[in-house]
Amino acid sequence: MSNGSSLPPHRRLRGTLLVVLAAVLAAGLGGWLIWHSSRGDCGPRAGQPAPSDPAGHATGPGGSHAPGSKDSTGHGARDSLKGKVVVLDPGHNPHNNEHGRQIARQVDIGNARKECDTTGTATNDGYAEASFTLDLARRARTLLQKEGAKVVLTQDGDRPYGPCVDERAEIGNKAHADAALSLHADGSGAGNRGFHVILPARVTAGPADTAAIVGPSRQLGERLAGRFRTVTGSAVSNYIGDGTGLDKRSDLGGLNLSTVPKVFIECGNMRDAKDAAQLTDARWRQKAAHGITEGITDFLSH
């Protein structure tokens, strides 16, 4: 058998080139296999759901509720609310029942005089509306701040009672809020279910003049109702709003005295067992905070 040294020079060169080419191809194939096997930790594979946070919101690529990501309409990007001021008004106060005389004081709401504040309602098991609203406000504040907003709370468990409804409105006015939201839960009869958003009516009396905020407040309310429903899966009220989830009122000082776009949200009925099961669930409250954040972001992005 002859060896390579007896081959002509051009055949020896061709053999060498074939060996080099084979080595290059083998190295490239090995590198591709290593890359392909490792990319499974970088994100969900096709057909698999994105990872979720404790509240059930998608946090991976394509997740519409992940902090700092965009939702299906392009809103919700980190810093999308930079430069915006949002006022959250947790309804009532856990200590109002200890200060009956103070909260019974009458204040001027423009077209009437009403109590400074009230104790709010509670579930049949004793979970207070004031505790619910404060927890929800803190959750929403965290999410809104992640989007770049400056968030002001009318109270953060740091007051002995109140504040009164006129002061709640004034806090939003002095902050020059781009949007203000008062958080509540209803105390209606059993069987009455669902959430609704309260819009300011046209009121021009005494210190109240809502003429400039009726329009933008309705836009805020519509965006909020839509997002809240989508994110929480809750139905709109079956007893207020004729199936729209929207209700207009002229008897609430927090709306009458506001000079910035403002609405109330009644997140459910604490006296209905099914609604109460949601309102007392921390995971659901986190969803509610996401819905509120998306609604406000949607409004402020248009």
DSSP-derived secondary structure letter, 5: G
CA pair distance 58, 72, nearest whole angstrom? 12
Q: How many CB atoms lie within 10 A of CB 292?
A: 27
Query: Which among 88, 188, 101, 100 has a CA at the least distance from the CA of 144?
Result: 88
Active-site annotation holds for 266: yes
Three-state secondary-structure class, residue 219: helix
Tokens representing 293 are: 């954040």
Which of the following is catalytic: 147, 167, 170, 266? 266
DSSP-derived secondary structure letter, 6: G
Query: Which among 58, 87, 64, 60 has a CA at the least distance from the CA of 77?
Result: 64
CA pair distance 153, 155, nearest whole angstrom? 5
Phi/psi zone of residue 191: left (φ > 0), alpha (ψ -120 to 50 degrees), beta?
Answer: left
Task: Please list the residues that pair with 198 across neighbouring strands.
Answer: 247, 264
Q: Residue 235 in contact with residue 243, Cβ under 8 Å?
A: no
Helix (H) or strand (E) holding 113: strand 113-115
Q: In what order do the strands lie in the sheet with 179-186?
A: 150-153, 85-90, 179-186, 262-269, 196-200, 246-249
Beta strands 113-115 and 106-108, pairing class: antiparallel
User: Catalytic amino acids?
Assistant: 266
